[in-house]
Structure 1
Amino acid sequence: MTVNDDSFTDWKNRERIAESMIPLIGRLHRERDVTILLHSRSLVNKSVVSILKTHRFARQIEGEELSVTETLPFLEALTALDLGPSQIDIGMLAKTYRTDGRGLSVEQFTAEAVAGATGENKIERRESRDVVLYGFGRIGRLLARLLIEKAGSGNGLRLRAIVVRRGGDQDIVKRASLLRRDSIHGQFQGTITVDEANSTIVANGNEIKMIYADDPSEVNYTAYGIKDAILIDNTGRWRDRAGLSQHLRPGVAKVVLTAPGKGDVLNVVHGVNHETIKPDEQIISCASCTTNAIVPPLKAMADEYGVLRGHVETVHSFTNDQNLLDNFHKSDRRGRSAPLNMVITETGAASAVAKALPELDARITGSSIRVPVPDVSIAILSLRLARETTREEVLDHLRNVSLTSPLKRQIDFTNAPDAVSSDFIGSRHASIIDAGATKVEGDDAILYLWYDNEFGYSCQVVRVVQHVSGVEYPTFPVPVA
């Protein structure tokens, strides 16, 4: 047998193992509301090749590929436990087991590591929480995809309605088509049918009512059987407490804004300050995509090295608030053609840092340039640190943060030498550290942070909604602070 034959045989064997993992992952998700992760990446509803690629990704972070032969025993051990709703990272189980040194069996180690999700410690499966989308643009449609995906277990969040202004004939058909196909994010994973007579979209079995209204005051959500709902306003039309309070109508309990909040509205970056949300708080902002991209790595750097001051330069993809061709715009430069120009514009991300990370006693400034790409941006974060360090130390720190810390769902890490923006379309992290571009000299550090300003941000929004709804289930093994 040749070397090539050996490689192909090994591949076919790993395919067989990954194939055997799929029903185990699916059963845990549907029957017990357990989401299986691998280094913070969900394996639910993934194909054989996707599972193998996710395992191979570990090579970028740990220096060696994580094999399905190594993780399968942990998955099998989980199926034998009396698990409650939770998220379990089998990549972290395998990693920590390697260095445990106590001679425990996989079954014993797994039972101990996830003890917080079993027996008397496990939490009960909760009833689904109603969610309403107010607006159905770029972020609204991605939120719909994520909410439909997360309804798979029958618990958690349930998208009940979408509120829009009527756009003309066949409005619901056209909106459903935009949900079904996306030029950047690809096809919807599932089936979508439309009931025009009842203004309903059925996506993967989820019945979603399309409600037509020009103003929040026109909607009585209880008339549609909606109760205690979380409404996500992704229009950006209202950003202060007075404006957003208009949504607090019968059937709606809380309002989440997908834009920076003004005045006393709490700006939340999940993973950093979501624990500060008071149970009785009814109006919350998820800040901006750029704020979500820079605050987690900024916190990671401040906690380890201290930060005296900083500047963020955002190279941002163009958005729908710019003109396709030169035309009048209320902003100074956004009227110039978005696909033909680099456009200097303002960003509120730097000033928003103080709201999300008030303990940071450092001045952060910021500016932004819009560029002719439709999605994925990069933030260049220049920091003056409180102590000197080295590039190797910073990269080791950020790599470990992305793997084992409470920020591992927000911060990703890549050392791919030829990484470009399109590589990060569909990333579920708030930002991705580009190791190759990182620069450190003494007490100066420059971080290059990629982020999918549409999908990665939408994932952060859903995490906030899960938290305030009470369906954000614990993760095991518990991340190291």
Structure 2
Amino acid sequence: MTVNDDSFTNWKIREEIAESMIPLIGKLHRERDVTVLLHSRSLVNKSVVSILKTHRFARQIAGAELSVTETMPFLQALTALDLGPSQIDLGMLATMYKADERGLSVEQFTAEAVAGATGAEKTERREPRDVVLYGFGRIGRLVARLLIEKAGSGNGLRLRAIVVRGGGEADLVKRASLLRRDSIHGQFNGTITVDEATSTIIANGNAIKVIYANDPSEVDYTAHGVKDAILIDNTGKWRDREGLSQHLRPGIDKVVLTAPGKGDVPNIVHGVNHDTVKPDEQILSCASCTTNAIVPPLKAMDDEFGVLRGHVETVHSFTNDQNLLDNYHKADRRGRSAPLNMVITETGAASAVAKALPDLKAPITGSSIRVPVPDVSIAILSLRLGRETTRDEVLDYLRDVSLNSPLKRQIDFTTAPDAVSMDFVGSRHASIVDAGATKVDGDNAILYLWYDNEFGYSCQVVRVVQHVSGVEYPTYPATAV
């Protein structure tokens, strides 16, 4: 048999195993609210090829691909356990098992590693929590996709309603069409139907009421059966506590803003300061996409090396706030055509760092250039460190952070030599460290951080909502702190 024959035979074997993993992963998700991960990447609703590609990512751990032949036994062991709602990482299980020298069987090791998710220790299922989207633009529609995807058994977050301004004839059909198809993020993963008689969009069985209103005061949420909901304001029209408080009406319990908050509104970056949210806090912000991109790696670098000062230059894709062609705009430069120009502008991300990282005393400055790409940006983070180091030490550290730390859902890592912006469309991480571009000279380090400013940010928003709603389930095996 030739090498080509061996490779193809091996592929077919792994393909067959991946096929047999899909129903096990699906059943755990639907029946027990268990999300199966592979090094922080969800395997729920993934195709055979996607599962195999996700396994290949593990080559960044030790230069070797993680095979489904290694992870399948752990998945089978999970199905035999009395699991409660949780997230379980097969990649971590396989890696930790290899390092364990006690001679335990896969079944014994798995039961021990996820003990907190079984028996009397397991988290009990909670009643579904209603969610309302106020606004249905770029972020709103992506958050909707994520909420529908994560509906699982129906015991988590439940998207009940969307509030928009009336748009005229066939408004509902057009909005459903924008949810179904996206020029950047592709087709919706599932089915969407429209019931115009009841003003409802039905996406993968989730009935979502579309409410037309020009102001929060016009909406009676209780009339639509909405109760104790978390409202996600995607409009950015109100950014202070007074303005956002207008949403706190019967049926709405908390308000989450998808833009930087002003005044005393907490700016939350999941993974960094989400655990500071007080249980009785009703209004909070998820900060900006750029703040979410720079704060996790900034915290990681400060924890290990110390940061004395820094500057962030974000090269940012254009947004709806800019003009398609030259026209009047209240802000300087943004009136010039976004698809044709690089546009110097400002970013509030640097000043927002203080809210998310109050213990960081280093001054951080920032600026931004909007460029003619529709999605994915890059933040160039230039740091003066508290001690001298080397490029290899920094990269080894950040690689480990991306795989084994509490920030692994926020920080990703790539060694691809020809990586470009479009490669990161759909990334669920807040930022991706580009190893090849990293520069280190003594106590100076420059990090190049890619981020999908639409989808990656939307994932961070949903994580914050899961946390404040009480449906952010624990992850096993536990990562090092």
TM-score, L = length of structure 1: 1.00
Q: Which amino acid aligns with 2:68?
A: V
Q: Give the match for residue 87 of structure 1.
A: 87
Rounded Cα–Cα distance in structure 1 between residues aligned with 2:108 and 2:395: 34
Shift of 1:101: 1.1
Shift of 1:154: 1.3
Rounded Cα–Cα distance in structure 2 between residues aligned with 1:358 and 1:381: 18
What is the CA deviation profile of residues 82-104 of structure 1, one whole-angstrom value per residue up to 9, with x for unaligned ones? Answer: 11000000000001111111111
Q: Give the match for residue 408 of structure 1.
A: 408
What is the CA deviation profile of residues 370-407 of structure 1, one whole-angstrom value per residue up to 9, with x for unaligned ones? Answer: 00000000000000000000000000100000001000
What is the CA deviation profile of residues 438-465 of structure 1, one whole-angstrom value per residue up to 9, with x for unaligned ones? Answer: 0101000000000000000000000000
**What SS is found at the alignment partner of 1:259?**
coil
What is the CA deviation profile of residues 242-290 of structure 1, one whole-angstrom value per residue up to 9, with x for unaligned ones? Answer: 0000000010000000000000000000000000000000000000000
Q: Which amino acid aligns with 1:227?
A: K
Q: Does the 8 A contact of 2:35 with 2:86 survive in 1?
A: yes
Q: Does the 8 A contact of 2:33 with 2:152 survive in 1?
A: no
Q: Which amino acid aligns with 2:308?
A: L
**What SS is found at the alignment partner of 2:352?**
helix
What is the CA deviation profile of residues 342-368 of structure 1, one whole-angstrom value per residue up to 9, with x for unaligned ones? Answer: 000000000000000000010000000
What is the CA deviation profile of residues 61-83 of structure 1, one whole-angstrom value per residue up to 9, with x for unaligned ones? Answer: 43110000000011011111111
Are 2:120 and 1:117 equivalent residues in the alignment?
no
Rounded Cα–Cα distance in structure 2 between residues aligned with 1:165 and 1:36: 38
What is the CA deviation profile of residues 213-255 of structure 1, one whole-angstrom value per residue up to 9, with x for unaligned ones? Answer: 0000000100000000000000000000000000000100000
Q: Give the match for residue 171 of structure 2.
A: 171
What is the CA deviation profile of residues 89-147 of structure 1, one whole-angstrom value per residue up to 9, with x for unaligned ones? Answer: 00000011111111111111111110010111001111110000000000000000000
Q: Which amino acid aligns with 1:48?
A: V
Q: Which amino acid aligns with 1:434?
A: D
Shift of 1:59: 1.2
Shift of 1:153: 1.9
Q: Give the match for residue 12 of structure 2.
A: 12
Q: Give the match for residue 248 of structure 1.
A: 248
Q: Does the 8 A contact of 1:61 with 1:414 survive in 2?
A: no
Q: Which amino acid aligns with 1:232?
A: I
Q: Give the match for residue 477 of structure 1.
A: 477
Q: Which amino acid aligns with 1:338?
A: A
Are 2:155 and 1:155 equivalent residues in the alignment?
yes
Q: Does the 8 A contact of 1:61 with 1:413 survive in 2?
A: no
Q: Does the 8 A contact of 1:324 with 1:339 survive in 2?
A: yes
Fraction of identical pairs, as percent: 86
Q: Which amino acid aligns with 2:113?
A: A
RMSD: 0.5
Q: Which runs of 5+ in 2 are unaligned?
A: none
Q: Give the match for residue 226 of structure 1.
A: 226
Shift of 1:57: 1.1
Q: Does the 8 A contact of 1:133 with 1:161 survive in 2?
A: yes
Matches within 5 A, 1:389-400: 389-400=389-400
Q: Give the match for residue 261 of structure 1.
A: 261
Rounded Cα–Cα distance in structure 2 between residues aligned with 1:111 and 1:158: 31
Rounded Cα–Cα distance in structure 1 between residues aligned with 2:220 and 2:276: 31
Shift of 1:60: 3.0
**What SS is found at the alignment partner of 2:145?**
helix
Are 2:64 and 1:46 equivalent residues in the alignment?
no
**What SS is found at the alignment partner of 1:354?**
helix
What is the CA deviation profile of residues 12-61 of structure 1, one whole-angstrom value per residue up to 9, with x for unaligned ones? Answer: 00000101111110110011100000010000010100000000111134
Q: Does the 8 A contact of 1:229 with 1:254 survive in 2?
A: yes
Q: Which amino acid aligns with 1:189?
A: N
Rounded Cα–Cα distance in structure 1 between residues aligned with 2:97 and 2:256: 40
Matches within 5 A, 1:389-468: 389-468=389-468
Q: Does the 8 A contact of 2:315 with 2:377 survive in 1?
A: yes
Q: Does the 8 A contact of 1:267 with 1:356 survive in 2?
A: yes
Rounded Cα–Cα distance in structure 2 between residues aligned with 1:175 and 1:122: 40
Q: Does the 8 A contact of 1:427 with 1:451 survive in 2?
A: yes
Matches within 5 A, 1:21-100: 21-100=21-100
Q: Give the match for residue 369 of structure 2.
A: 369
Q: Give the match for residue 307 of structure 1.
A: 307
Q: Does the 8 A contact of 1:60 with 1:416 survive in 2?
A: no
Q: Which amino acid aligns with 2:193?
A: T
Shift of 1:479: 1.1
Q: Which amino acid aligns with 1:244?
A: L
Shift of 1:3: 1.1
**What SS is found at the alignment partner of 2:58?**
helix
Rounded Cα–Cα distance in structure 1 between residues aligned with 2:328 and 2:62: 51
Rounded Cα–Cα distance in structure 2 between residues aligned with 1:101 and 1:408: 26
Rounded Cα–Cα distance in structure 2 between residues aligned with 1:133 and 1:266: 20
**What SS is found at the alignment partner of 2:407?**
coil
Rounded Cα–Cα distance in structure 2 between residues aligned with 1:274 and 1:283: 13
**What SS is found at the alignment partner of 2:163?**
strand
**What SS is found at the alignment partner of 1:96?**
helix
Q: Give the match for residue 129 of structure 1.
A: 129
Q: Give the match for residue 295 of structure 1.
A: 295
Rounded Cα–Cα distance in structure 2 between residues aligned with 1:148 and 1:69: 31
Shift of 1:414: 0.3
- 4+ residue runs over 4 A deviation: none
**What SS is found at the alignment partner of 1:266?**
coil
**What SS is found at the alignment partner of 1:329?**
coil
Q: Does the 8 A contact of 1:86 with 1:475 survive in 2?
A: yes
Rounded Cα–Cα distance in structure 1 between residues aligned with 2:145 and 2:61: 29
Rounded Cα–Cα distance in structure 2 between residues aligned with 1:100 and 1:349: 43
Q: Give the match for residue 340 of structure 1.
A: 340
**What SS is found at the alignment partner of 2:208?**
strand
Q: Give the match for residue 197 of structure 1.
A: 197
Shift of 1:422: 0.2
Shift of 1:295: 0.1
Shift of 1:200: 0.4
Q: Does the 8 A contact of 1:270 with 1:460 survive in 2?
A: yes
Rounded Cα–Cα distance in structure 2 between residues aligned with 1:280 and 1:248: 13
Are 2:388 and 1:388 equivalent residues in the alignment?
yes
Shift of 1:150: 0.6
Shift of 1:152: 2.4
**What SS is found at the alignment partner of 2:187?**
coil
